[in-house]
């Protein structure tokens, strides 16, 4: 895994964050609802969308997941999500999701989480799979009252079976803020570099996530 970590970091350092090609600008709003019926179980509902600022792309996603919180430094998630174009029938994707999240570093206020995700995809009826490896570094808040800010950064690589190799490098910088025990906000900027001739080659996005806990 140490080799994979180094590949993630090197890939981001070498990725062309400043390029001549024009990047697509997108907005990613999202609503996440978490329900925890038992100590070691949590149900997660995702409602999200993506839209190009100056283009015609308009997509929406509905996802339902089950989290298994059985280990002290890890949890596992399985679920299903459906993404579709809201303008026409040009894009339809059904996706099975299976992932593990492991805390690999926890030093004072800093926490490093490694996530491995397997996605079984049916894009417009064609099957493929994708493996995503992500590192998530976050500074935790020590405040006990008022808004609690937790800035973070992520680095992620995508392996896609359609290309038999890596197809995307992505990263995010943002912050979570706890407004109460039941409400959190997550605001971030994201960058995607699509490889192997996938269009658009570069995506810049602003993400705004509202998280509700029950």
133-137, 143-147, 207-211: which has the minimum mean pLDDT? 143-147
**Token pair for 23:** 């990047």
What is the per-residue pLDDT for 1? Answer: 52
* Phi and psi torsions of 4, nearest 5°: -65, -40
> Residue 3 pLDDT > 90, yes or no?
no
**Token pair for 135:** 């590192």
**Token pair for 205:** 């996005």
Q: Which has the higher per-residue pLDDT, 14 or 39?
A: 39
CA angle, 152 as apex, 174 and 98 as ends, to 5°?
100
> Residue 57 pLDDT > 90, yes or no?
no
pLDDT digits (tens, 9 = 90+) for 66-94: 999 988 899 999 999 999 999 888 999 99
Q: Give the confidence band of 13 by pLDDT, cuts at 50, 70, 90.
A: very low
> Residue 141 pLDDT > 50, yes or no?
yes
Residues 6+ apart with CB under 8 A from 38: none
Q: Give the confidence band of 17 by pLDDT, cuts at 50, 70, 90.
A: very low
> What percent of the chain is modeled with pLDDT above 90?
76
**Token pair for 26:** 């997108």
Q: Is 90 helix (H, G, I), strand (E, B) or coil?
A: coil
* Phi and psi torsions of 100, nearest 5°: -125, 135
Give all domains of the chain, ordered by start, each with its CATH number: 2-17+26-213 (2.40.128.130)
What is the per-residue pLDDT for 2? Answer: 52
Q: Which has the higher per-residue pLDDT, 50 or 108?
A: 50
Closest CA to 13 of 173, 155, 174, 114: 155
What is the per-residue pLDDT for 143? Answer: 82
> Residue 16 pLDDT > 50, yes or no?
no
Q: Which has the higher per-residue pLDDT, 140 or 7?
A: 140
């Amino acid at each position: 895994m140490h080799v994979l970590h180094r590949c993630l970091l090197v890939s981001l350092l070498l990725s062309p964050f400043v390029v001549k090609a024009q990047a697509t600008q997108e907005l990613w709003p999202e609503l996440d609802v978490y329900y925890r019926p038992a100590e070691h179980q949590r149900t997660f509902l995702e409602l999200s969308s993506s839209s190009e600022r100056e283009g015609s792309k308009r997509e929406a996603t509905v996802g339902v997941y089950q989290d298994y919180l059985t280990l002290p430094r890890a949890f596992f998630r399985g679920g299903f999500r459906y993404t579709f174009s809201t303008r026409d029938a040009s894009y339809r994707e059904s996706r099975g999701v299976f992932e593990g999240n492991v805390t690999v570093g926890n030093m004072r206020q800093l926490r490093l989480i490694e996530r491995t995700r397997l996605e079984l995809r049916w894009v417009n009826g064609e099957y493929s799979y994708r493996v995503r490896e992500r590192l998530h570094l976050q500074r935790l808040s020590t405040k006990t009252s008022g808004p609690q800010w937790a800035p973070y950064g992520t680095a992620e690589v995508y392996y896609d079976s359609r290309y038999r190799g890596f197809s995307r490098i992505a990263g995010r910088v943002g912050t979570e803020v706890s407004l109460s025990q039941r409400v959190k906000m997550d605001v971030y900027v994201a960058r995607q570099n699509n490889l192997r001739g996938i269009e658009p080659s570069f995506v810049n996005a602003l993400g705004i996530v509202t998280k509700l806990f029950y």
